[in-house]
Amino acid sequence: MRSRPLPTFPSTAPSALGDEQLRANLRKATTTIRRKRASVVQELPDWEELRARARAIKEGAMAELDRHLLKLEESVTAAGGVVHWAADAAEATRLVGDLVSAAGAREVVKVKSITTDEVGLNEALAARGIAAVETDLAELIIQLAGESSSHFLVPAIHKNRSQIRDLFREHLGPPDLSDEPGDLAEAARLHLRQRFLKAQVAVSGANFAVAETGTVGVVESEGNGRMCLTLPRVLITLMGIEKVLPRLGDLEVFLQLLPRSATGERMNPYTSLWTGVTPGDGPQEFHLILLDNGRTRVLADPVGRQALHCIRCSACLNICPVYERVGGHAYHAPYPGPIGSILMPQLLGPGVHDSLPFASTLCGACAEVCPVGIEIPRVLLHLRARASQGRVKGGGGVPGSGGKEEIRERERALPSAAPSAPLLERCLFRVGGWLLRRPRAYRWALRLGRRLQPALAEKGWIPRLPGMGSGWTLGRDLPALPEESFQEWWEREGCGRAASPTGDGSGGEGNRGARGGPGRKGGPP
Amino acid sequence: MSRERERILAAIRRAQAGAGSPTPPCGTEGHRQAGSLDRASVLDRFVGRVEDYRAKVTRGSSSALYRVLAPALAARPVRRLVVPADLPEAWVLALPPGIEILRDEPGALLSHGQLSAAGGVLTGCALGIAETGTLVLDGGAGQGRRALTLLPDYHLCVILASQVVETVPEAMDRLAPVVRSRGAPLTFVSGPSATSDIELSRVEGVHGPQTLEVVLVEDA
């Protein structure tokens, strides 16, 4: 699917981690949004019921996706719109290009849309000599900077005001522009107003599309969305097939969940809902492109398909301890953060983005804030298993992604011990599992470790592990084994005597039940 | 084109066959379908929540509308005011003298340039949502087409007390008929246009109106 491998998360995260400015920007932004979100979420007494309802609606929509899409096509057509279908990015961009050309335009104004980023629309249009003008302030900033988005909602979260002022001075003028956010926004307003007034064609994404009535919705703040959806003669909307909602009555649920989860507002400034073409009001030609681009692949996975329920609120990004420290660019994907880590590997298939499900601490905060109840940690584990199975089998059974070569490529890029890692890793896990089931052997291993560790430990910490363990200590110190383990303390205090000792557990015991009494099971000291 | 359509539909059906039967929706309808406040509290909440977006709200009665509209407009440098063709005549009469009225008549629509250059617009709305401080426009009576409330810098919106509902589900219930019958385009407006894209500092007034002012009309 892709000719060259994408950089892996472990290879890009260190430089992001080392960027003090980036980390300060991210910390400030994510903490602010988290606080706002929490305060407006607790205002609603039925938040959990809304989440449950949203999840049920999305599950229902996915279960009969074919029927809902056909109904949507019928409704949009009846309302005066035209529906197109695009199986992949190439078809989607070709369709948009053809429609723009048919309208006789050389320039389109764009509403912020991650889906158009996903298919590389701007680049594809540029190749046909069509200029795509981003009109969302943050999208404009990163378009001028020639960068890519690092967050769903505030794509320029990684840039500060003086960096933005410099960009605007260079591209928009005036040369004495200040770095006050109000002045910067005004400069963008002036720059874009004329473009809005003369634009013939607009391109947008969609937050929802209602099968029952053909109503399509865009949620925004600045009014650039309304400009694009109202002023041009032709409107082209590109939406993923998973955005369909069965009934008009479903909208209220998402209109309550999305703004509060996203920007921490009771309602975003503007929500536009349009149904086909309205004579004398707004665009007189409306095209809706339904995009697959890997979504049916996601749908085929009973565990992973819930990633399609995502409404792109970015609450999971803002709460994620990993995202907060590395930002969106480290993920090298249009959808970053926890949701990106479960969506991207599925959209593109095994072999690509396999490192993303590992870019998580599995703390579960993302699942707790997700307004549609996606069990992100569960899907992360599912995809980790898939990635490691693919690796053990040497990439066998990876459909159509050139995954095998890519896995080899990636392993070459890892530290030197890595090529043998899968085997060693498996041995280690097997030995670890064996020890954890045998308390006596476990304690013996602990004593051995304690005897060996003075060579490595400094003041209670191990700053560097040898061999393949070195990767573990690249970014963190390992706590040294303590002088006395919890088990030993337990025994010294005489607490364990009442319980009968078990000796070597005979397999299959796992970590269930406290058959040996508390403290008898092996556990981390 | 239709080949792509069949490809996608076939892929969906294959995926659904592989994924087994869906879990039946459960825990549905558990959320509030309506609010619980009395009317006076609903109106108070509406006013408070609209003001939270830094929009100005004035309360007045229909018999003395000029007492509210005149000072609102006098406080602003609005010389040319856009109004939809079917704005209630009483509202037009309540406008202070010295303001040029630009009517958006079906036969003589104002150009986008004219709208952009006008200082403000006066409209009604379809309804208001108290819980979120939102005004909803549906292109119905006294509202005009969407460009009217978008291009001028100042939007003065009159809402009747009877148009205010408490919650979002109640609003969608009221709006559904016009969407189903005439495909009415809906615009939800919650405060003036705003951005937080630069270091998350909120700036009001980006592309949509910089100022939103609401007049709540209560009748005894």
pLDDT of B72 > 50? The answer is yes
User: What are the CA-CA distances from residue A336 to residues A148, A288, A322, A333, B91 (Å)?
Assistant: 11, 26, 11, 6, 51
Do the Cβ atoms of A481 and A449 come closer than 8 Å? Answer: yes
Q: Kindly state whether A162 is in contact with chain B, defined as any CB-CB distance less than 8 angstroms.
A: no
| pTM summary value | 0.85
More confident call, B19 vs B46: B46
User: Can you read off the two tokens belonging to residue B116?
Assistant: 């952009």
**Do residue B30 and residue A141 have CB atoms under 8 angstroms apart?**
no
Size of interface A-B (CB pairs under 8 A): 258
Question: Considering only residues 16 to 55 of chain B, which have any Cβ-Cβ distance to chain A shorter than 8 Å?
Answer: 16, 18-20, 22-23, 25-32, 49, 52-53
Q: What percent of chain A has pLDDT over 90?
A: 64
Pick from A29, A266, A290: which is nearest to B133 by CB? A266
Q: At A251, is the pLDDT very low, low, confident or very high (cuts 50, 70, 90)?
A: very high
Cis peptide before A174, with omega less than 30 degrees from 0? yes
pLDDT per residue over A433-481, tens digit each? 899 999 899 999 999 999 988 888 888 899 988 887 787 888 788 889 9
pLDDT of A1 > 70? The answer is no
pLDDT of B115 > 80? The answer is yes
d(CA B108, CA B18): 58
Q: What percent of chain A has pLDDT over 70?
A: 87
Q: Which residues of A touch B190 (CB under 8 A)?
A: 265-270
Q: What percent of chain B has pLDDT over 70?
A: 94
**Do residue B190 and residue A268 have CB atoms under 8 angstroms apart?**
yes
**Do residue B168 and residue A138 have CB atoms under 8 angstroms apart?**
no
**Do residue A59 and residue B29 have CB atoms under 8 angstroms apart?**
no
B134 membership: H or E segment, kind and range: strand B134-137
Q: Kindly state whether A358 is in contact with chain B, defined as any CB-CB distance less than 8 angstroms.
A: no
d(CA A144, CA A167): 7
Instruction: Give the three-state DSSP class for B26.
Output: coil
Q: Which residues of A touch B131 (CB under 8 A)?
A: 266
Q: Which residues of A touch B84 (CB under 8 A)?
A: none
Q: At B74, is the pLDDT very low, low, confident or very high (cuts 50, 70, 90)?
A: confident
Residues 6 or more apart whose CB falls under 8 angstroms from that of B111 comprise none
Cα-Cα-Cα-Cα dihedral sign, residues A217, A300, A262, A222: negative
Pick from B19, B189, B209: which is nearest to A300 by CB? B19
Closest to B175 in 3D by CA, of B216, B146, B138? B138
d(CA A385, CA A378): 11
